[in-house]
Structure 1
Amino acid sequence: MPRRVGTAKALQIGFIGLLVTCFAQVSFWIMDQVRYTAAVRDELIGSYEREAEMAQTLLDEGATESELVAQWPHLAVVDGRAVVSPSEIERIHKARNRRLNQYGWEGSFFLVVLVGGIGVIAAALRQRQALHRREENFVAAVSHEFKSPLASLRLSAETLARRKPDEATAERLSGRMVGDVERLESMVTNILDAARLDDSSRHYDTGAVELARSAARIIARVSCQASLRGVHLDSKVPEEALVRADRTALEAVIENLLRNASKSVAANGGGTVHLSAARDGAHWRIEVADDGLGFESAEAARLFDKFYRPGDEMRRRTAGTGLGLYIVKKFVEEHGGRVRAASDGPGRGATFRVWWPATEEQAA
């Protein structure tokens, strides 16, 4: 990691050096044009003034004004004296100014394009660095997520095998083992789902799905592990709720939202997670509300980024891989819905809302 930080710092210094060099080059280029055009102007006016002296000699010898002007159109006779025409001098100055303006605009445009290009590259590098940091956090989280349930499974299995516990203890250990297996299964499923979501050829088996039945199935799967953490799951989903969805994707969305809320509530000392649904135009609004850790409102949109998890991986109060909410957003949007997250702040719970398209019959 220090090496990557050093590389990023070197790139920043390189970009700044390039920008300063180009700015200095453009400045030198413009100043050189100022000096060059001034020299050309002075040389041209000096040449005209020498021609005016020659014309004055001819004028003194009896040449007429029309003869002089015919030979030197850029000269004029003023009060009997041959001089460079004021209009010609003005034309020379205007020509010089036009040239300077041209180089000034071209140089400025070059600098603007350069700064814009460097800005785009710098933003891309920052985004890449942030993604890499999230990927490193993901690897650390996955390692922890695998080790914890595996260690718990091993301990429970060894206890059952060696100590011959009583029926109540055996039942408790069995429940813990089931919860650990569910935790592993959920994590592996999320990893596989996230990998498939990056494949644009993914196919959904879309049809009418009973939202209440899917919700009940997921609650039955999640409630055991949640109750061990002091979390109660409450569901109020109308029986008539029908959505147009791939059942596997819909249940993955509900499960990830419930597991995310359960972890947050458990980390905050326990409480209740509420799952509800209500009609909202042509959609069913699915809502998962909890009284868990909550989050800053500025983080609401970033919560759905791939691998994103607030804070440092070693200091977090909740387990996870940073894939669950990413999967939620992708599944929802690919079914024509939308998802939003809201919280009143850290320690004040959170609410996740999903708008999922109703079936054509109910949407009509």
Structure 2
Amino acid sequence: MDPKMDSGMVSTFYSIDEAIESGFAPVPISSDSTVNVQSIIDIMDHLLACEATWHMGHSLAQTVFSCIYVLRPERTSSQALLHSYCRVIRATCRAVVSVVSDARTNEEEDLFTMTYGLPFSGEEDAKGLLLLNAVEETICRQLRACKATRRRMLEDAELEPLQSNPHLEESFCKSLLCRIRFRKHFLHALNCMRRPQGRGLELARKHIGYCISELDSVLDSAEFLRLDIVENGVNEIEESTTASGRSPIGFDPTLNKRLSAPTPPRAIKLLSWKKAIDYYVKLLHNLDQICAFSLEPDLEAVLEFVIKFQKSRPDLVARAHLQLH
């Protein structure tokens, strides 16, 4: 049999446990704190690309849940930043699956809502936002310490820096904060939009605005993150799934091939990091349009809005929210 026709025949590891035992997704990622922070940012960026690719209709098992850190978040409990981020990613995926399933705007054969028996309903994921808020506050203090006077630095002497190079500390803090804040506000926006009778729409618009602003900062961080990368060409960087151009640690799209409900056998091409950001900007603008639309318009206004909305060619997640609006 052609190996491409059997999802269980071609895989790097026989199981997730085997991958972990082989050191494929170490915790901590590196004993060098600077490398550790760089690697976590790469993981965040790659997860963004995975999530956007999933939204475009690909399998959750081959995208977001191709990350061992997301599959087994309990392993990262000693690493607050990575742990809380992965928890919030899982909670976001659950929120998106919920809205698309309820709206029923997807085709039955779409892979989008299939979870393949993945560990998708962890109770601990609900605490992810609280953990991420605490991490954000810590990094904010570290950023303030970078900019502080000598007196303030003495007051914050007990605050451990993110990494070992003081010249890079401020830029790393900013790079992390914009990614954390985008992730936090995006989940808040999704949750607010699901509140009954449109009670959360105004607040959702505020979170959407914050998301768009943070994505601009994420884009701006790319220049710093690529400083130590030897570029082989602009095209290679543009097609990368991370801002830095590096390959992320802890991802393998073949990890879930031996689940009871097999994942699709053929490999998929992920959206690039830049295209993923473009996708989210478009999605956020679509969601903002939905939130801004009056809940009690007349039929003519509804038809006019739907026609105008469809001209922007919204993707599945935006259409699902419109259906439930």
More strand by share: 1
Which has more radius of gyration?
A: 1
Q: Which has the higher contact order (CA 8 A, sep 6+)?
A: 2
Could you say whether these structures have the same fold, taking a TM-score greater than 0.5 normalized by the shorter chain as the test?
A: no
More helix by share: 1
Q: TM-score range by the shorter chain?
A: under 0.3
Taking structure 2 as the reference length, the TM-score comes to: 0.24
